[in-house]
Amino acid sequence: MPTWVQLVYLACAVCFILALKGLSGPRTARTGNLLGAAAAVVAVVVPFLYLDLHHVPLILLAIAVGTVGGVVGARRVQMTQMPQMVALFNGVGGGAAALVALLELKELVPDSGSVGWFTLAATAFTIAVGAISFAGSVVTFAKLQELMTSRPVVFVGLPIVFGAGLVAALVLGVLTVTSPAVWIGVVLGLLGLLLGLLLVLPVGGADVPIVISLLNAFTGLTVAAGGYILQNTLLLVAGTLVGASGTFLTLLMAKAMGRSVANILFGALKGGSTLGAGVASDRPVRSAGPEDVAILLGYADRVIIVPGYGLAVAQAQHTLRELVDVLSGRGTRVDYAIHPVAGRMPGHMNVLLAEAQVPYEQLVEMDEINGEFKHTDVVLVVGANDVVNPAAKTTPGAPIYGMPILNADEAKQVVFMKRSMRPGFAGIENELLFDPKTTLLFGDAKESLGKLLNAVKAL
């Protein structure tokens, strides 16, 4: 590899690190994303400039298909479907790494005597874990897209089958090192696909986005291993960054759910999945119209907004921002309380509200704002449910018990905007809905917020 190529790859690696740093904050996220994308484009172009590549037309065709698919998909995807897109992109990365490792294994077999054991072990790892990531990501996509049930799918003997599959994969991995053969790699890849399915099928409810993050870490590790196999330092660095960040994100999300990663993956096998019965309640609640809620908001000194997935579904973020602007103009202090797992992935609400030009200063994380609820006149919950459900603190048998929540129940008044009495993503009732200080405003969030905005202006 020429020196200039190594320098370019080093610069791209630095850009990847800076991009990851930029993505850690809303103000710098766009710049970080563009920087990482630009570095990736340069990294793809460089091999055409110094290598004697074969099948160039096929390579260019594949790049063109991927580019068109990525651009069209990214532009058409709705905010509510962003986790599904992330799952698909992640799965494609894992699958690609597994296929590259299989092709490399074919090249290594004739000279296996002179190939180091670690290279063959990395090849086996990439094939197995890449296939697991691909199959698991497809299942998470299907669950979130409602192409299949989002409830845990279990069957008698699943732990035994899964355990036997892991042992078989380990045996095949050892054989890849001691007696490398292409057919062993193919079987290992197929077994990886099966393990990916068995890993994700038992996961249900609010756990699915966390599994997406875990599979993203898997893909990063396979890309890093692939970089070692190909002796490409840039792939090694990029994969390590993705693997490390995905692992940390998984642990942070699990902490936000108040559960361990093992419980998230295998909790359904002993009834521990975060998904309840999902039956709408017929218990009486106090409801009101937009005019009544407008009076509560219009004469409040302190208001906290709790956004959730329902806000994204209704695409009501712009109307909500207008309402907050009107309240702020009347002298009301208004902030948005952001739960780490509100929506369907970390940062979902931040991105949604940033799209509506909401000032970053008004987006307050859970740990910072939880102490403010007891001094708040009105909490307006828009499309959220589980992240304010007191059952997480008071009901040991609840699926979400132990999950840190926003302390909306400590406010003087709570207004819930809901389409119906259907439970949240965890599928359990929220006792806060039946609290005497809680008022429900039923209807589509965008339509209800529009009426509420007009009513507040009319005060």
pLDDT at position 279: 56
User: Which DSSP letter does residue 51 get?
Assistant: S
pLDDT at position 281: 62
Distance CA 127, CA 143 (A): 25
pLDDT at position 459: 84
Q: Where are the alpha helices (DSSP H) in 201-260?
A: 208-230, 233-257
Domain covering 290-458 in this structure, CATH number: 3.40.50.1220
Active site residues: 386
pLDDT at position 313: 83
pLDDT at position 152: 79
Instruction: Spell out the domain ranges in the chain.
Output: 1-76, 87-270, 290-458
> Cα 148 to the chain's mean position, in Å?
18
Amino acid, single-letter form, for residue 49: L
What pTM, to 2 d.p., does this model score? 0.80
- Cα→Cα distances 18→22, 28, 42, 238, 386, Å: 6, 10, 16, 12, 35
pLDDT at position 143: 86
Distance CA 356, CA 230 (A): 44
Residues of the chain with pLDDT under 70: 112, 205-206, 258, 267-282, 424-427
pLDDT tens digit string along 136-192?
A: 999 999 988 888 887 778 888 888 999 999 999 999 999 999 999 999 999 999 999
pLDDT at position 260: 75
What residues contact 423, with CB distance under 8 A and at least 6 apart? 276, 277, 278, 279, 280, 281, 385, 429, 430
